[in-house]
Amino acid sequence: MLRVALRNARAGLLKLAMSIIAVALGTSFIVGTFALRDMLSSTFNDIVDTGLNGAAYVRPTGDQGDMVTGSSGERIIPDDLAEDISVVEGVAAAIPDHSGTLVLVGSDGTAVGGSGGAPTLGFGYHTDDPALRISQGSGPRNDTEIALDQETAERAGLDVGDTTTVILAGNIHEVTVSGVVTFDASLAGASLVLLDLDTAKQAFAPDGLVSSIAVYAEGAGGAPATYPDVTADAEEDLVAAIKSALPDSAEWDVVTGTQMRDDSQAQIDSMLGFLSTFLLIFALIALFVGGFVIANTFTMTVRQKQREFAMLRAVGASPGQVFMSVTIQAILVGLIGGVLGVFGGWGLVAALQVVFEAMGMDFASTIPLTPFIITLGIATGVLVSAVSAALPARKAALTAPVEAMRDDAAPVIRPSWWRIAIGALLTLGGAAMVTAAVLVARADEDASMGALLGYGAALLILGLLIISPIIAKPIVYLAGAPFAAFIKPLGGMARGNVIRNPRRTANTASALMIGMALVSAASVLASSVTVAMKAVVAEEMVSDFIVQSQSFEISPQAATDIEALPEVGEVSHFVVAPASLTWDEAADTDEDVTGPPADIQLAAASPGTFPDLWFTEPVSGSMDVLDDGELVIQEATAEMYGWTIGDIITITGTQGTVDAPIGAIMNSQALGVSVLASTDVLENIASDTESVIVNMLVNAADGVSSDQLRDALADAAAPYYVLSIYDQEDFTSMLASQVNQVLTILYALLGLSIVIAVLGIVNTLALSVIERTREIGLMRAVGLGKGQLSATIIIESILTALFGTLLGLGAGVAVAAAMPSVFANQGFTELSIPWSALGAMVGLAIIVGVLAAVWPAWRATRMPVLDAIAAVE
């Protein structure tokens, strides 16, 4: 039977080609996901090992920063502790972290980086820092010199001796590039700018506080030894010696370099784990869709070879042997598709690498294809193929020997009663769960119905997949009515051919249905979010303009320059700074609330912001309490911690502690902050270096037009390179563009399932042509022309694509329409159905149908008429 299976696979390789491609596409995504994850992990781990290569570190006991986002920890460690540490026996160097963000202007006059990409980081140049080596020129010696890493210098188009501009701590500096440094790991697009030590201290630690101190052990000749040249025992001994030399403090701790690196790598693994899960979801969707293509292929192949299987049974083959002959073919499909998928996944990551490099993000140069990844890709392809072909293989195994005496093709198989029952049960159950989620959410705004909606949507889609052969007939009949009416008699013939076998039509269209359901749901979601954002911005942003920075930080000097403009009337800042909140747990009566402490980014608004520059309608209380030193709390945050108006919250920062009462509770999606205070409160608990101005609200002075104010703001912002000026319409468009960027990624990922769906239609039509060889021959013999035959097959393809698209669009829109009710408490308050986008998807379905029919139609017209009439199958 093995020889029979191999012979059949070789003879029907063309029939199996589409299944192989479907498997290859799905496994490419699987392989690419794991390879991309390993590449990113290797890149960031190299950064960790090279950038955190000390033997010990002094770090805060609270917020320690995030290696992934590039944020530093709390600046609470006195940098003069480095002097005490440097005299400890065994210490070669103790280097405080004098670092922060800045703006570097390239040779083309634009800011390097920006647009929310990788950051530009400034560092104080320590001559004994072993992580950096001067490869050209010299290190910076005063506030008029900087040094750049090699990648940044190339990206900025700057060489040693060139002059440029940096914006540091809000001040504009004209500087000269004194040297180029080498960093032993890829920086993933981040830009490094070295400053002389005094300049870095003044900019990043004016109060003498830093977020960490790196300690290097003595190596050969007393030089600093770096990881991995220091043993774990030596690190532990060094940590003990440092702790004994420093005063006890609850604010900071001394840890080994190994622990510091392990903690940073754990942050990276957490981020990459989320990324992998996100991509694997789409990979599984692609494989699920590909499974339909494989199952359909083998179902039709088994039907066409029913007489052959019956002959095998008649000459003594057991059902198990026949089952294995089909399964072996499926395994071959999976094996070939899996191998191609491994190469495809490598190519996918290579293409992404090129895209990343074009965006200025350089990752590891080698793409890892480990034995695990290769085995996973091939095994996934084989498993999906074998499982998808199991039912057709069972059908082949149960073929009775008497079928060998039949001269006609296998009869059309109607859906069984149990399929109808299960499909109807799942469809109605899913619809009921979606409806229940909507009704409960409308009755109780605080009810969490997201999970119920998700499960209901999954059951609804699954039920529609199962019951689709039942509903295929009426939908195709209606969709085919225009073709039957205006393209006679070809339209009617094509519609009849599609309706004749609703099970095959449904199986073919299932892949397209899944893809279109997801795409349409994403489109409705994006459109609704955009409309909701516009409504929120229109209601809450009442200032003439809002000023924001691409680096998410407006320098104090830029803010001062804007405030000084004669065209500016009222102006307000929104500022954030790290803080820790504590409160009396006795007020907590709900077992589900979270107790103290809470580390947050405390947001603050200038006095007078509400309601002249920003309007937010509170749920309870008044926004005016901000000016009295009271707090405004987001409703979800208040519920999380069990807070009510009048509760006293203790706010602790590096500069002091403030007790502030809760004066109002709001529910604002535009103000995406959990706790809002006045800038007067923030000044009492945070230093100037910790407080970051995230945006400014500006109104025109009396008698100044909007255009005049915009021009003045643009002139004031120009020297800072990264500031953007938005009016209400611009601000809404910017937010909408961010949603569209996410939507584009979803479209690209979901497009893979649609590509596989197209392959499924091509595959089914090609097999259908073979199955109807005699029928096509007879029609040609009685006068059907080649053009008419091609048109018939194209219409069949279009109707199949339309069926899957219409069913998918209906399901996707129905589920998405429930989201505003379920997620209303999270700001999803509007429902907007993008009819033009949905219409474009229907148009796309017609194009898909035409393209998918080209090759099968060409094959059909090439069949000799007499040979076709004489065909048995």
pLDDT of 588 = 47
Distance CA 458, CA 454 (A): 6
Neighbouring residues of 117: CB distance < 8 A, sequence distance ≥ 6: 189, 359, 360, 361
Question: Per-residue confidence at 71, pLDDT binned at 50, 70, 90?
Answer: low
Q: What is the mean pLDDT of the chain?
A: 83
User: Tokens 């569209």 label which residue?
Assistant: 740
Query: Is the Cβ–Cβ distance between 570 and 608 less than 8 Å?
Result: yes
Question: What's the average model confidence in pLDDT over 283-311?
Answer: 73
- 3-class state of residue 124 by DSSP: strand
E-strand stretches of 107-212: 120-124, 132-137, 145-149, 163-168, 171-183, 191-195, 209-210
Query: Is the Cβ–Cβ distance between 140 and 576 less than 8 Å?
Result: no
User: Tokens 């429902």 label which residue?
Assistant: 831
Which long-range contacts does 465-468 make (Cβ < 8 Å, 24+ apart)?
Answer: 465/423, 465/510, 465/513, 465/514, 466/419, 466/422, 466/423, 466/426, 466/427, 467/419, 467/420, 467/423, 467/424, 467/426, 467/427, 468/423, 468/506, 468/509, 468/510, 468/513, 468/807
On the question of pLDDT at 715 being above 90, the answer is yes
830: left (phi over 0), alpha (psi -120 to 50) or beta: beta
Question: What's the average model confidence in pLDDT over 321-329?
Answer: 83
Query: Is the Cβ–Cβ distance between 587 and 728 less than 8 Å?
Result: no
On the question of pLDDT at 589 being above 70, the answer is no
Largest alpha-carbon pair distance within the chain? 103
Query: Is the Cβ–Cβ distance between 101 and 169 less than 8 Å?
Result: no
- Residue 506 tokens read as 């449904």
What predicted TM-score, i.e. pTM, was given to this entire model? Answer: 0.70
Distance CA 68, CA 403 (A): 65
pLDDT of 749 = 67
Among the residue ranges 63-67, 123-127, 810-814, the one predicted with the least confidence is 63-67
Inter-helix orientation angle 371-388/13-51, to 10°: 150
Question: Per-residue confidence at 115, pLDDT binned at 50, 70, 90?
Answer: very low
What percentage of the chain carries pLDDT values higher than 70?
A: 89
Question: Per-residue confidence at 236, pLDDT binned at 50, 70, 90?
Answer: very high
Among the residue ranges 155-169, 279-293, 432-446, 495-509, the one predicted with the least confidence is 279-293
Residue whose C-alpha is closest to residue 74's, from 419, 410, 577: 577
Q: What is the pLDDT of residues 360-417, one digit of tens each?
A: 666 666 777 888 889 988 998 898 888 888 888 887 777 777 655 554 544 555 566 7
On the question of pLDDT at 566 being above 90, the answer is yes
Question: Per-residue confidence at 663, pLDDT binned at 50, 70, 90?
Answer: very high
pLDDT of 163 = 95
Continuous segment of H or E residues that includes residue 620: strand 618-621
Half-sphere exposure of 206 (CA within 13 A, CB side): 9
Q: What residue type is assigned to position 467 of the chain?
A: I
Instruction: Name the residue with higher pLDDT: 692 or 757.
Output: 692
State which of 324-333, 587-596, 733-742 shows the largest mean pLDDT: 324-333
Q: What residue type is assigned to position 181 of the chain?
A: V
State which of 83-87, 175-179, 249-253, 598-602 shows the largest mean pLDDT: 175-179
On the question of pLDDT at 352 being above 80, the answer is no
Distance CA 271, CA 279 (A): 13
| DSSP sequence for 82-104 | HHHHHTSTTEEEEEE--EEE-EE
Question: Per-residue confidence at 207, pLDDT binned at 50, 70, 90?
Answer: confident
| DSSP sequence for 694-757 | EEEEEEEPTT--HHHHHHHHHHHHGGGSSEEEE-HHHHHHHHHHHHHHHHHHHHHHHHHHHHHH
pLDDT of 195 = 94
Among the residue ranges 333-337, 631-635, 693-697, 857-861, the one predicted with the least confidence is 857-861
- Is beta strand 171-183 parallel, antiparallel or unpaired with respect to 145-149? parallel
pLDDT of 862 = 82
Distance CA 868, CA 870 (A): 5
Strand partners, 571: 698
Residue whose C-alpha is closest to residue 791's, from 495, 505, 509: 495
Which burial class, exposed, middle or buried, applies to 851 when counting CB atoms under 10 A from its CB (0-12, 13-18, 19+)?
Answer: middle
Half-sphere exposure of 611 (CA within 13 A, CB side): 8
What are the residue ranges of helices labelled H in 359-443?
371-388, 390-397, 417-443
Q: What residue type is assigned to position 609 of the chain?
A: T
Q: What is the pLDDT of residues 842-859, one digit of tens each?
A: 898 888 888 888 888 887
- Residue 241 tokens read as 């010696």
On the question of pLDDT at 70 being above 60, the answer is no
Cα 438 to Cα 449, 454, 529, 761, distances in angstroms: 8, 12, 18, 36
pLDDT of 114 = 46
Question: What's the average model confidence in pLDDT over 764-785?
Answer: 77
User: Tokens 């989320």 label which residue?
Assistant: 274
Instruction: Name the residue with higher pLDDT: 588 or 709.
Output: 709
Q: What residue type is assigned to position 456 of the chain?
A: G
- Is beta strand 103-104 parallel, antiparallel or unpaired with respect to 163-168? antiparallel
Instruction: Name the residue with higher pLDDT: 115 or 806.
Output: 806
On the question of pLDDT at 766 being above 50, the answer is yes
Q: What residue type is assigned to position 818 of the chain?
A: A
Which burial class, exposed, middle or buried, applies to 31 when counting CB atoms under 10 A from its CB (0-12, 13-18, 19+)?
Answer: buried
On the question of pLDDT at 126 being above 80, the answer is yes
Q: What is the pLDDT of residues 524-536, one digit of tens each?
A: 888 888 887 788 7
Question: Per-residue confidence at 304, pLDDT binned at 50, 70, 90?
Answer: low
pLDDT of 593 = 53
pLDDT of 2 = 58
pLDDT of 664 = 93
Query: Is the Cβ–Cβ distance between 748 and 519 less than 8 Å?
Result: no
User: Tokens 């390789």 label which residue?
Assistant: 13
Query: Is the Cβ–Cβ distance between 789 and 857 less than 8 Å?
Result: yes
What percentage of the chain carries pLDDT values higher than 90?
A: 23
Cα 455 to Cα 449, 452, 459, distances in angstroms: 10, 5, 6
